[in-house]
Structure formats: C-alpha cells, structure tokens
Chains A and B, each alone.
Chain A
Amino acid sequence: MKLNIKMSVVIAFLLTKGYSAFTQEGKIDCAAHVFKTIPEALEYKDCATKLSMRVAKIERVSEQIGNLKAITYLDLKSNSLRELPASIGALSKLEQVIISENHLKSLPETIEGWQSVRFMQLDNNSLSDLPLGLFKLKKLNTLDLSWNNFASLNSRIGSLGQLKILDLNHNSLLVLPKEIGKLKALQEMDLSFNKLKAIPDEVIRMSSLKRLALANNELEQLPRNIGKLKKLKSIIVTNNKLTQLPESISALKELESIYLSYNQIGKLPAALYKMSHLRNLVLVGNPIPAAEVKALKQALPNTNIVF
C-alpha cells in the first residue's frame, strides 16, 4: 500500500513536471550543451544557451526560435536560408551570431532586439543593405560582412561606437560614408576587393586602427593625413592605382608592414627612409628605379624589403 502511494506521488510528479524534465533535464548542463535543433532546445527553453544548426540543410528557421529567450550563441552557418523569421529579434541575450554561407538577401528589422550581441558573422550571403535596427546594437564589436553585395554603407554605421573589427572584403563598395570615421574603437578594417576609388579623409579619426586592408580596389591616393592613425601597424594596399604615398606616413611610429605591390608608385617619399621600425615593405610591381630601392635597403637595413 505504501509503495502504491509512493508510485502515485511519482506518477503525479511526472504528470505535472513532464517526463522529459525528470529523465533528461538532470543530465543536460544547459550552460554547456550545444542544442542541434529548435524542438530539442525548446524542451529547455528557459535555460538553453547554445544552439548550433551548422550545415543542417535547413531552408527556413521556425518562428519558434523566438521562444528560446536564454540563447547566447547561435550558429546557422552553411545552410540554405533566404530569410530569418521576425521572431528571432526576441533573442535579447544573444552574444554571438554566425549566419555565414547562406543566401540571405536581408535581415529582419527586429534584430534591434539583439541588445547583447557582440559578434556577428554574416559573410558569404547576398546582403546589399542592413536594417536600421542593426545600428542600435551598442555592444557589437565584430561585424563580418565579407563576400556580400554591398555597394555602399548606411551612414549610420558610425553609430557602432564599440566596433573593433569590420570586415567588408569582397563586396562591390563604390564609396564609404564619411561617418565611418566615427568608429573610434575600430582596430581592424578590411575593405579589400571592392571598387573604391577613394577613402574619405575622415578615416584618420579612427584612432584605434591597427590594421587597414585596402587591396584590390581602384584607389589613386591614400588620405593625406594618414599619419594621424598613430596605432596603425599594417597597411595593405596591393593592387590599386596609387602613384605616391603621403609624406605623413612617416608619423606612423607603430607601423610594421606596408604592402604596396602592383601600384604605379614611381617615387617613394623621403620620409620613408627614416622609418627604421618597419619590418616589411613590399614594393613588387611598381615603377620604382632599382637605384632607389638599393638606397632604401641601405637606409633601412633591418627592414625586409621585397621588390
């Protein structure tokens, strides 16, 4: 009889709590477990933090994803997604989002709700525009938009004050908004393989910039006051149409590497001869007289000069 009472208690508990909670919840550490499907995560909707549907062949994300309020890490890489459901904006605790290698043409305006997001990888999609909500993500520090279809950037990009890494390589950028200069925290900016004819002068206000990649554009000159980017360590301007370097470059005391291959530079600025802190200087494919290179090598014996 006593046993029966105990059994009844157990059965009542199972009915109220649900079988899965009794048998599985105890085994799964919500903070560490990476859920592979939305239904699986929904069983732990109040505590599931990581959801990875990487290479899962999905073509649509269920609106139900909006119920996973505790999610901090979302990986949807390498699927066949053309859009995201509006409900995804409800994931206010999201910190890392990876949606690389899909077919997204746009993002929902609701991503404004991702107020905790720090890291967003959106490379290899078909994006040509960003929703205005993205520019309100004040904690965002990494934004990878490489291999998309951007021809220009919304001037609101300047409001992403915490951004440290911005990758826009392999797009169709014709122009950059001057507001990009407001990205004071930016440390790395990759604009390689675009169609830029010029860089706005305001870029010199990016006082934290360490790496600037501008390879394979149509640049005819670099900003005259580039010397103001005091923290710059590396400039990559391979395959452009530069004919000269600004004199102010000598003010870049932290600069370690300059990649200038395949431009039309005939003469190097005199100030370059004093940049003994340079580690690498690549000049291949420029019409610089051999005698000048020789003189430069003598002036900078500790620099690896490739010509």
Chain B
Amino acid sequence: MKHQLKTKVLLFTSAVVALAAGMSANKKSEIETQVKRYYDLNVDSLNSSVQQMQQHLATGAGQASLQEDFKKARVYYKRIEAFVEYHLPESALKINGPNLVESEPSLPEEPILPTGFQVLEEVVYSEEPLDRQAAKMETDGLAFACNRAKVLGANIEFTETNILDALKLNLYRLITKGISGFDAPVALNSLPEAIASLEATQKLFNYFPQSGELLKITTAALQYLQEHQGDFDGFDRATFIADYINPLCVLVYDYQLAHKIPFAQAPNRAIPANIPHLFSPGAIDLSFYAPAGAELNSKELAALGKILFEDKRLSVANNRSCATCHIPSKAFTDGLALNESLVGGKKLMRNTPSLINAAYQPVQFSDSRITFLEDQVHAVIANPEEMGGKFEQIQSLLAKDKAFMKSYKAAFSGKKPGADEVKKALAAYVRTLSGFNSSFDRFMQGDKTAMTAEQLNGFNLFMGKAKCGTCHFMPTFTGAAPPYYEKMESEVLGVPQSNDTINPKMDLDSGKYHVYGMPHHLYSFKTATVRNAAVTAPYMHNGSLKTLRELIDFYNRGGGQGLGFELEHQTLPGDPLLLTEQEKKNIEAFIGALTDTVSYKKIQF
C-alpha cells in the first residue's frame, strides 16, 4: 500500500513536471515566435525606408531630405542589428561594414569595394554638392543588401539561447563601437542610434517572462542616453558603461541562470557566452588564440618556456636570447626605436613590441603575417637578423645540458628536445604574460575609485572626440574587432621616419602590403595595443615617436596627411582632432590607467 502510494505520488509529480516542462516549452516557443515576427516587421521597415530613399533620390530630393531618410533607415537597422550581425554576418558587412576596400588573397589587385550605410553616409553628408549618381549607386547597393537580410532572415532559427546571446553581443558592440562613433563617423548620430539600439533591446527583453529587472536597468540606461544624446564630445561613456551596461549584462547572465536558459555553446569564440560582462576577469578565452592541442594550464611547460626565453643558445652565436630584446623590467620591450640586426651592422626593420597580452592577439607581427605564437617564435629564432638560430644546433646543445633536461622532462615525456617542444614551451610562457589588472579594469569591475577624474575624462575623450577607441577596441585596446575579436584591423597612418615635425618624411616600410600584395595594404600596420603604452615607449612600427605626447600630437594633427604627406589610402581621418592641451593631458593620464601594475609585477617573477 505504501509502495502504491509512493508510485502514485511519483506519477503525479512526473505529470506536474511534464506539464510544467510543456508550459515552459510553449512559453519558449511564444518568445521565439514573437522575436521572429519582430525581425520580419523591422526588416520590412528597413527595406521600405531604403526604397523610399531610392524614390526620393529619383524625384530630385535635396541633401537635407536624404539625410533624414538616411537616419531613419539606420534606426530600423539598429533595431535588428543584433540578429543580422549574429546570423547573417556577410549581410551585416554589406549593410553596415566599414568603408574600406578589401581583396581576396587569390586576387590581390582586384578590389572588393565596400557597400552600405558607411559608404552612403560619406556621400549624403558630403560638404561638396551632392553626387546624385554616387548616391544612387550606393543606395541601390544598400537596398540589395537589405533585401538579402530579409530573404535570408526568413530562415533564421531563433531560440531563447541565441536571442539572449545576440543581444548581449550587441551590448558589447554598443559600448565598444556604437557610442564611439565607429559606424557613424560623419553623421555623428551615434548617441541617438544607441537609443534606437537600446529601445530594441528593451522591446525584446519584454518578450521574456519575469524580465522586470532587465527592463528596469535598460530603461535607466535609456534615460541616461536620452538626457545626454546631444553632446557627443561630452558624453560620459565611463559612467554609461560601468553604471548601466555592465550591470545590465550581469543581469542577462543572472537571468539565464535563474531561468535555466542554456548559454550558447561557442567553442570558436574569443568571448564566451557564459561570462557576466565584457570586463569580467577572464572574459577572453585564451584558447581561442592558441592552436588546437596547445597546453594552456601546464606550469611546467611555462616554466620551461621561461628558461628558454632567457637562453642565449637559441641564437646562432649564443649572444642573444628572447629576453635580450623583450626585457621583463621594460614591460618586455627594449626601450629602443630599433634594435641591432645580427647581420651587416644595421638596425632591425621594426620596433620590438611588448609581449604582455601578445597571446590575446589574433595575429602576430606588425604586418599581421602569423597567427600563432608558436610560429612567431619560429620566425624570430630562424630569422638571421634577429636570432639566426639553427634548430638542430639548439636541440643538441640543450640535450647536453643536465639542468635544462631536468626541467624539460618535467614538461615533456620525450627524451630529446625538438624544435616543436622549444616553440611550444616558449609560446606557453608568453601566454602567461597576460595582464588585465589595470586601474581601468578595476574601474570597469566596479571599483569607482580606481580611476582619477582626469583619467576618466581621458577615457571619454579616447572613446569619443579623439576617436582612439574606434581603432583600439576595448577591452584589449588592439585592432581586434569586437564583439568577436577574431579579425585584427590594420591601419594606414602615414607614420613619419622620425619625430621631426618641421621637416617630416614618411616612413616607406610597405607593412602588410608585402604579405599578399594588396594595394590598399601599402604602409598598413597592425593596430597595436594601448595597454601598458605608458611604459613601452617609443611608439609605432619604427619607434619614431618617442613619447606619448608626440604620439597624441601625431593623431591630433590628422596622421600623415596632417603632416602633409600625400597618402591615398590613409585610413585615419586627415582632419585635426582639435584637442586642447588639457585634453591631451587627460588622454595621457587615461593611458596611464591602462598600465597593468599588479600582473606586471607578478610577471617579473
């Protein structure tokens, strides 16, 4: 009898659970249906608004009217940007990609011209009389791309997981690119567009049950934006991110946990879905930047790497180790413009970069020619000018060293050190040189006292008026483009040969051009990190700028074009930034807040 009762209770419980699960499944399906409807409606509106713009152009509308059409169409795009970027990345590129020429490596001389809003923006907002033919061409291209987002969008499979994942990635996009003016560089309509984006987020959160907390903080963020939307230069981005968007991201994270909505499985993504916010400790997955099978948690391997890092036997004449140029006490740089070449009594071609956070870059070297640290190690050791090491010779020298072999055997099971093991160990060591513990990081993690008023002002300038943040993306402050951080941007700046601003001459290092021979890559260099810049002078690929102030002045003038160089493909706007002395000081102070003092001390062992 007791047994029967137990069975009945069990059955009843199972039925309730099944019913609850069924209800939950229904609810989920309702959310997904609503989001799909939302997408369909807004992608239709986007298409209609672009078509309207085509009609207005055809009937002779003036520039002001077209600018209004342009703004309206962008607002519709911002409403669905999260999903277009997430599910249709190629369409996103065609609708709102940067205004930069690309090429396929197999056809380097055949330019793939950019399309979309950012190209159209330059035509519609041009200070010259409106080029109607160009406007028509770009609007037609935009209409084609928007239609593609509609046609392909019909097949998007929305789930609660991917809806929240896309929205969270879009919040990262908003704070790294949106409020910095990255995708509205001429119209400077970034803050009103940020409102459109957040309003869309709010509407979508509203489809989720018990999302009151999410809605509350989204509303507060919107209110903050609405109050300050008219002042792009003065907008307090630090407060907006730290007080509103980071907490909102944490709430999304908590919501998923509380409502048992699984986090998206994204093994091939630098920023995993299951992190509280973009600046959370360990937010970037180091394994994303390492080759398959790399050991990321072996202390023995990293310890062996440190020994090798300081071992001069890796060079041809046993007179140079990695640490000779990457000096730990100088934040793993050498403090020189250019170090000595081992061949021909000349200088090396490029400045020695810091190794702190090198492991968080999708590509290595100033010209971005290598992906993994293991291969970077090979290229430097084998380069006759840098180390000239011969791996066979290195292996035999190391195998005879009893002390070394003891450490070697702690890390590897093999009997003899091979080239592969040397590279793996060195890469493992460099991967330990990570530092995300600066005042800036502490501020973003909630310590409101971590940055001074000057530094905070500098950050807001960095992300706004001075436009630094449109290329040096948070949180790595490199050219790794958010929110996926997989593609490293490179820029044509027109770097001078020296810091002589009276008679400046352009540096003629062809940069990334030599990798594939693409014309638009001539003089193009990887966007290096700003983290630890206060302790890694001198700057640029040739070390020509000696101080942070010289660096800021260079950008303030408008890069190479501002110095008077004729540079067809300069990717930096050639206009002066018009920064005041105090603003320059503040930016310098902010860069100081990116010095990773805690980890840095730890790194020195």
Contacts and interface: CB of A to CB of B under 8 A. Distances in A.
A60 B88 contact: yes
A170 B105 contact: yes
A60 B148 CA distance: 13
Nearest to B84: A59
Contacts of A105: 268, 486
Contacts of A64: 157
A154 interface: yes
B292 A129 contact: yes
A220 to B, nearest CB: 12
B87 interface: yes
Contact of A154 (B90, B292, B371): B292
A101 to B, nearest CB: 9
B372 A128 contact: yes
Given A60-B87, A62-B155, A154 B372 contact: no
Contacts, number: 76
Contact of A129 (B91, B291, B369, B419): B291
Contacts of B155: 62
30 contacts: A57-B148, A59-B87, A59-B88, A59-B152, A60-B88, A62-B157, A64-B157, A80-B89, A80-B90, A82-B89, A82-B90, A86-B265, A86-B267, A105-B486, A108-B267, A128-B291, A129-B291, A129-B371, A129-B372, A147-B105, A149-B371, A151-B370, A151-B371, A152-B374, A154-B292, A156-B293, A170-B106, A174-B378, A174-B379, A177-B420
Given A62-B157, A106-B268, A197 B372 contact: no
Interface string B138-159: 0000000000100010010100
B83 to A, nearest CB: 12
B216 to A, nearest CB: 34
A221 to B, nearest CB: 14
B375 interface: yes
B90 A172 contact: no
Interface string B466-508: 0000000000000000000010000000000000000000000
A128 B379 contact: no
B157 A172 contact: no
Nearest to A60: B87
Contacts of A83: 268
Interface string B83-107: 0000111110000000000001110
Interface of B: 87-91, 104-106, 148, 152, 155, 157, 265, 267-268, 291-293, 369-372, 374-375, 378-379, 382, 418-420, 486, 515
Nearest to B151: A57
B106 A130 contact: no
A131 B290 CA distance: 12
Contacts of B375: 151-152, 174
Interface string A123-152: 010001111100000000000000101011
Contacts of A132: 292-293
A151 B368 CA distance: 12
A155 interface: yes
B292 A131 contact: yes
Contacts of A178: 418
A58 interface: yes
Nearest to B379: A174
B120 to A, nearest CB: 21
Nearest to A174: B378
Contact of B371 (A59, A63, A124, A128): A128
A165 to B, nearest CB: 20
A172 B291 contact: no
A80 B292 CA distance: 24
A80 to B, nearest CB: 4
A82 B90 CA distance: 9
A152 B372 contact: yes
A25 interface: no
A207 B104 CA distance: 36
Contacts of B105: 147, 170
Contacts of A154: 291-293
B382 A197 contact: yes
Interface of A: 57-60, 62-64, 80, 82-83, 86, 103, 105-106, 108-109, 124, 128-132, 147, 149, 151-152, 154-156, 170, 172, 174-175, 177-178, 197
Nearest to B266: A83
Nearest to B87: A60
The CB with the most chain B CB atoms within 10 A, among A59, A124, A156, A170, is that of A59
Nearest to A79: B90
A177 B378 CA distance: 12
A58 B91 CA distance: 10
B371 A130 contact: no
Contacts of A103: 90
Contacts of B89: 59, 80, 82
Nearest to A127: B371
A270 B374 CA distance: 41
Contacts of A147: 105-106
Contact of B267 (A58, A109, A128, A197): A109
Given A63-B157, A128-B371, A57 B152 contact: yes
A204 to B, nearest CB: 17
Task: Enumerate the 4 nearest inter-chain pairs by beta-carbon distance, A residue then B residue, closest first.
Answer: A80-B90, A151-B375, A128-B371, A59-B90
Given A59-B91, A62-B155, A172 B267 contact: no
Contacts of B291: 128-129, 154
A131 B486 CA distance: 17
A152 B420 CA distance: 10
B95 to A, nearest CB: 12
Given A59-B91, A59-B152, A62-B155, 16 more contacts: A59-B89, A60-B88, A124-B104, A128-B291, A128-B372, A129-B371, A129-B372, A147-B105, A149-B371, A151-B370, A151-B371, A151-B372, A152-B375, A170-B106, A174-B378, A178-B418
B157 A174 contact: no
B257 to A, nearest CB: 23
A230 to B, nearest CB: 27
B11 to A, nearest CB: 30
Nearest to A197: B382
Contacts of A177: 420
B245 to A, nearest CB: 26
B148 A108 contact: no
A130 B374 CA distance: 15
A48 to B, nearest CB: 18
A103 B475 CA distance: 25
A154 B418 CA distance: 14
Nearest to A130: B292
Contacts of B152: 57-59
A4 B319 CA distance: 98
A202 to B, nearest CB: 12
Nearest to B104: A124
Contacts of B106: 124, 147, 170
Contacts of B267: 86, 108-109
A266 to B, nearest CB: 22
A152 B155 CA distance: 38
A197 B372 CA distance: 19
A162 to B, nearest CB: 21
A98 to B, nearest CB: 17
B518 to A, nearest CB: 14
Contacts of A80: 89-90
Nearest to B423: A152
Given A57-B148, A86-B265, A172 B87 contact: no
B590 to A, nearest CB: 32
Nearest to A179: B420
B18 to A, nearest CB: 25
Nearest to A110: B267
A149 B363 CA distance: 11
Nearest to B268: A106
A172 B369 contact: yes
Nearest to A82: B89
A54 to B, nearest CB: 16
A156 B89 CA distance: 33
Contacts of A59: 87-91, 152
